[in-house]
Structure 1
Amino acid sequence: MSEYSDKFQQINSNYQKLTAASGDTGKDFLTMHAAALKDGALSHKQKELMCLCVAISIRCEGCILDHLHHAIAAGATKEEVVETINTAILMSGGPAYVYGGTAIDAMEDIFANQS
């Protein structure tokens, strides 16, 4: 397994632990999460790319890996991911450039390890 796949698996494991420990708060967050990301006027893929943009801008590596994974699973292309990263750089400057590099590295890893 790759570094980013391992980190993604750890994030999911932590989500499960937190959800079990946090009771209604965790359940309510997951309900809101699912409702916010379902297809509507914007597609699920578009929403995941928007989340990726915000994740890069706020410098949350776990969020980057989670939303990148789900955007790719929803059909995002490399070109769409790069344009999303470019938008984050526009909005957040240097820090987004650094974390955008993390997203590029993870994207390459994910696409290289797809079966």
Structure 2
Amino acid sequence: MIKDYSKNYNNLTKLMSELATKLPETMKGFNELHKASISDGILPSKTKELIALGIAITVRCDGCIAFHVHDALKAGASSEEIMETISVAILMGGGPALVYGCQAMEALEQFIVLEQ
């Protein structure tokens, strides 16, 4: 099941930039929504990234997993917090979430290695 989540993250970042040139209003709206939703509020950004990761796992979105593992780490989430998020996602999403939870764990391990 080995996937290169760093490469996936970088490729999607590039593709989203390209999409922004073709759909500027759509991407502007999405980026504003993302910023408003993820920025610190009552819930800190780290918590919001962990919630987004749990949702990404349950809806089985590879690219979302790459982004939210990466961004959760950048927001200060620990490996243990990410693993606990995976656990809750498995509870809510059952067997399919278990498979994508394994992929999120794999992404976490890859991003941790890159940070060292």
TM-score interval for Structure 1 and Structure 2 normalised by the shorter chain: over 0.9
Q: In structure 1, what is the equivalent of residue 98 of structure 2?
A: 97
Equivalent position amino acid for 1:100 in 2 = G
CA RMSD in angstroms, aligned pairs only = 1.1
Equivalent position amino acid for 2:34 in 1 = H
Q: In structure 2, what is the equivalent of residue 78 of structure 1?
A: 79
Equivalent position amino acid for 1:76 in 2 = A
- Structure 2: distance between partners of 1:34 and 1:13: 18
Q: In structure 1, what is the equivalent of residue 34 of structure 2?
A: 33
Equivalent position amino acid for 1:20 in 2 = T
Equivalent position amino acid for 1:44 in 2 = S
- Structure 1, unmatched stretches of 5+, are none
The question of 1:113 aligning with 2:105 is answered no
Equivalent position amino acid for 2:55 in 1 = V
- Structure 2: distance between partners of 1:63 and 1:53: 10
Q: TM-score, normalised by structure 2?
A: 0.95
Q: In structure 1, what is the equivalent of residue 16 of structure 2?
A: 15
- Structure 2: distance between partners of 1:78 and 1:91: 20
Equivalent position amino acid for 1:90 in 2 = L
- Structure 2: distance between partners of 1:66 and 1:95: 19
Could you say what secondary structure the match of 1:42 adopts?
coil
- Structure 2: distance between partners of 1:60 and 1:42: 23
- Structure 2: distance between partners of 1:18 and 1:82: 32
Structure 1 residue ranges, 4+ long, deviating more than 4 angstroms after superposition: none
Equivalent position amino acid for 1:73 in 2 = K
> What count of residue pairs does the alignment treat as equivalent?
114
Question: Sequence identity of aligned pairs in percent?
Answer: 42
- Structure 2, unmatched stretches of 5+, are none
- Structure 1: distance between partners of 2:76 and 2:8: 21
